[in-house]
């Protein structure tokens, strides 16, 4: 094996070990989806959510954490905390997909998470838990609110385990907390729920809750400038690259 191929194999092995069990593997190449982009109706102000190369670093950082966990690109996000005339004055953005997950079962979600590039500057803006979110727009279909067919199901991560470099995979099913934006169940932003508790609160024996869209989001709260890569939803990892979003299948 050539030195270049050996290096590529080592990098892929490091990627797999950081995101999935040793018994699983990630397909080296996947298909592109044209359905990812800024969800315009959920965007406030003039934030940035753009596919980009890197980030590589920060300076002085070497090894796997000095580059995006998949490929060479990521989703760069920039939001401001005081940039609009609205109340609150902060910006908000969703970068997501309104097509590929439409109609999927919420209770069928088993694996969710991502990698993040968090900076110490972001911590000074809003504290250690100033982080982007994962957000599913859903029809909750709960018996207690039979006419309520829209809410946001939001994951709020814990503080990033590292700063000024790429994090390991952060598992949204085991860390942080979840809530529903409309108060349809006991899982509210004030009454934090685990992933399992939120799913249980939606499983009331009636019609199944279904997904409308899935997104990486930020706002409306603190300024944040960073990046996300390797968004995982069940068996698919969404690799954000400058030329598009590549689907990598865990098998």
Residue range 143-176, pLDDT digits in tens:
999 999 999 999 999 999 999 999 999 999 999 9
Average pLDDT over residues 209-238: 98
Average pLDDT over residues 179-203: 97
Cis-peptide, bond into residue 220, ω within 30° of zero:
yes
Q: Which of 29-33, 96-100, 113-117, 185-189 has the lowest mean pLDDT?
A: 29-33
What's the pLDDT tens digit per position in 25-68?
565 556 788 999 999 999 999 999 999 999 999 999 999 999 99
**pLDDT confidence of residue 117:** 98
**Mean pLDDT, the chain, whole residue set:** 91
CATH architecture, domain 30-249: Sandwich (2.60)
Kindly state the tokens that stand for 55.
């980030």
C-alpha distances out from residue 213 to 62, 123, 152, 185, 203, Å: 36, 29, 9, 20, 19
**pLDDT confidence of residue 29:** 53
**pLDDT confidence of residue 32:** 85
Domain boundaries, the chain: 30-249
Of residues 37 and 19, more confidence is placed in 37
Contact 61/165 with Cβ under 8 angstroms? yes
pLDDT confidence bin for 251, thresholds 50/70/90: confident
120: closest CA among 236, 225, 200, 45?
225
Find tokens 């685990």 and name the residue. 194
Average pLDDT over residues 207-228: 98
81: closest CA among 129, 142, 130?
130
Distance CA 22, CA 15 (A): 11
pLDDT confidence bin for 14, thresholds 50/70/90: very low
Distance CA 242, CA 120 (A): 25
Average pLDDT over residues 169-184: 98
What's the pLDDT tens digit per position in 111-134?
999 999 999 999 999 999 999 999
Half-sphere exposure (Cβ direction) of 79: Cα atoms closer than 13 Å: 30
Distance CA 113, CA 171 (A): 5
pTM for the whole structure: 0.89
Q: Which of 13-17, 45-49, 85-89, 155-159 has the lowest mean pLDDT?
A: 13-17
Kindly state the tokens that stand for 160.
């990033």
**pLDDT confidence of residue 31:** 79
- The number of beta carbons lying within 10 Å of the beta carbon of residue 111 is 16
Q: Is the Cα dihedral 170, 176, 181, 186 positive or negative?
A: positive
**pLDDT confidence of residue 21:** 43
pLDDT confidence bin for 16, thresholds 50/70/90: very low
Beta bridge partners, 38, equal 95
**pLDDT confidence of residue 139:** 98
């Amino acid at each position: 094996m050539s030195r270049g191929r050996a290096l590529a194999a080592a990098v892929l092995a490091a990627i797999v070990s950081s995101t999935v069990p040793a018994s699983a593997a990630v397909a080296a190449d996947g298909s592109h989806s044209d359905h990812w982009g800024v969800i315009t109706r959920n965007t406030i102000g003039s934030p940035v959510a753009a596919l980009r190369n890197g980030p590589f670093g920060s300076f002085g950082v070497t090894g796997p954490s000095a580059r995006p966990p998949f490929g060479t690109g990521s989703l760069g996000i920039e939001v401001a905390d005081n940039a609009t005339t609205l109340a609150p004055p902060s910006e908000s953005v969703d970068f997501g997909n309104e097509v590929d997950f439409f109609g999927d079962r919420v209770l069928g979600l088993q694996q969710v998470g991502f990698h993040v590039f968090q900076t110490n500057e972001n911590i000074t803006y809003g504290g250690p838990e100033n982080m982007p979110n994962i957000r599913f727009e859903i029809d909750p279909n709960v018996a207690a609110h039979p006419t309520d067919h829209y809410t946001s199901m939001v994951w709020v991560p814990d503080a990033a385990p590292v700063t000024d470099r790429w994090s390991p995979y952060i598992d949204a099913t085991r860390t942080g907390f979840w809530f529903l934006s409309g108060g349809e169940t006991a899982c509210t932003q004030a009454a934090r729920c685990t992933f399992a508790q939120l799913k249980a609160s939606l499983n009331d024996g009636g019609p199944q809750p279904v997904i409308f869209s899935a997104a990486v989001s930020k706002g409306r709260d603190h300024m944040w400038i960073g990046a996300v890569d390797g968004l995982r939803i069940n068996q698919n990892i969404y690799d954000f690259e400058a030329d598009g979003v590549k689907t990598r299948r865990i098998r």
